[in-house]
Amino acid sequence: MSKKLKIGLFGFGVVGQGLHDIIRGQNLNLEVVKIAIKNPEKKRSLDAHLFTTSHDEILDNPEINTIVELIDDADAAFNIVKKALSNGKNVVSANKKMIAIHLEELVHLQEKHGTSLLYEGAVCGSIPIIRNLEEYYDNELLHGISGIFNGSSNYILSKIFNEGLAYGTALKQAQDLGFAETDPILDVGGYDAKYKLTIATAHAYGLFINPDNILNVGIQNISDDDIQYAKEKNIKIKLVPTARKISTKQIISYVLPKFVKPDDFLYNVENEYNGVTVQAAFADKQFFFGKGAGGHPTGAAVLSDIAALRYDYQYEYKKYRQQNGLINTDKVSIEVYLRYVHEYTLDKLEVENISERFSRNDYKYVIGSITLKNLIKHRNLLVNKDVFIAQTGRLTFGQQDIAPIIENETFLAN
């Protein structure tokens, strides 16, 4: 029999309201006791007595046994979650930045206080990828995980490629629909996707990576020339986070725009939808698809976690506890399309194996290989407005750079 959850909810924005809408339509053994908000003057759809501006009124309430954290501020979210777990309360969160930055500490807090933190809603909206990595793939050898993790960027790119909208127009539409923030750099700059990749990598490989050590380059510099090039090649550009095992002890992780061919699962993932590809040794390639943005899709993932807490569900972090010795490396070369203005860009990035080059007064690009190490070293160069980079999908690595590679782990992306 499930236990009754008495919930303290932090945040009543798009996701918080979406969650409340879903809860009202369900016959679940739970009750929202109090909701913490920032602005008490804002008109609400619920009775005023449900709301408070005091965090401690919720966190110190012994009646409340479950905290649901749905606010934007990562620092404030961490303080809420840390105190809740320490006070013996289980927590559900959708704050991907907070979780990505503090995940290892949060795991230790759960162990110390016998509490549970669930966060399915923090990664890819309605797609249950964390639970699948935890349960279905718990004993699998995963070659890689990649996909479209950010609905806002995907919406913008879909409008550009399918409807011919200008970048600025597509961005404004995404903002008007609530998919992108007023300052959209978190989404279009690849930061949101990086935080989600950090969390997914922890469950896929048991490796907690500092997000600052993961390269993220976004789509904000995409131009009409880049779009025209892709269309002439019959490909689309998607923002694709990637984590891939390249040897028995090493993985690589990064977020870059990518050329996606028509035979790729991601090619037809459009608008605010997300898609996740998992490549495994035994299960082969599998694909997950669902809405990645919006109050109801994310609220549904949050509710799934809440429902699991009624039966004392916890992430076991099996691969992390195995202490498998994996490390995140930058010793791999990535073949890229690189649009640039100044020739020193090629020199600084040390572009090699150039297979295609084009130059005219207003448009220059090359197809060539750049080491992940150099991309990380010169990440500030990659966000200049006159530079756009996209991975073609091909990786190369030398035997001198990595440990002996198991035969079935040696592969190149298609």
Asked if residue 395 belongs to a domain, the reply is yes
Asked if residue 306 belongs to a domain, the reply is no
Q: Are 41 and 320 in contact (CB under 8 A)?
A: no
pLDDT at 357: 97
Query: What's the domain range around 74?
Result: 5-118
pLDDT at 393: 84
In this prediction, what percent of the chain has a pLDDT beyond 90?
76
Q: Which of 159, 196, 238, 258 is catalytic?
A: 196
Asked if residue 124 belongs to a domain, the reply is no
Mean pLDDT of the residues in the chain:
91
Q: What's the average model confidence in pLDDT over 125-152?
A: 91
> Which amino acid would we find at residue 256?
L
Asked if residue 310 belongs to a domain, the reply is no
Is residue 411 predicted with pLDDT exceeding 70? no
- CATH number for 404: 3.30.360.10
Q: Are residues 56 and 199 in the same domain?
A: no
Is residue 1 predicted with pLDDT exceeding 80? no
pLDDT at 414: 40
pLDDT at 141: 83
Question: Is position 196 annotated as part of the catalytic site?
Answer: yes
Tens of pLDDT, residues 161-174:
999 999 999 999 99
Asked if residue 83 belongs to a domain, the reply is yes
pLDDT at 18: 85
Give the Cα separation of 137 and 206 in Å (integer).
Answer: 12
pLDDT band of residue 2 (cuts 50, 70, 90) is confident
Tens of pLDDT, residues 122-131:
999 889 999 9
- CATH number for 27: 3.40.50.720
Structure tokens at 139: 């004993």
Q: Full-prediction pTM beyond 0.85?
A: yes
Q: Are residues 178 and 61 in the same domain?
A: no
Q: Are residues 113 and 135 in the same domain?
A: no
The DSSP-derived string for 247-304 is: SSSEEEEEEEEEEE-TTSGGGG--TTEEEEEEEETTTEEEEEEEE-SSHHHHHHHHHH
Tens of pLDDT, residues 283-337:
889 999 998 777 788 888 899 999 999 999 999 999 999 877 899 999 999 999 9
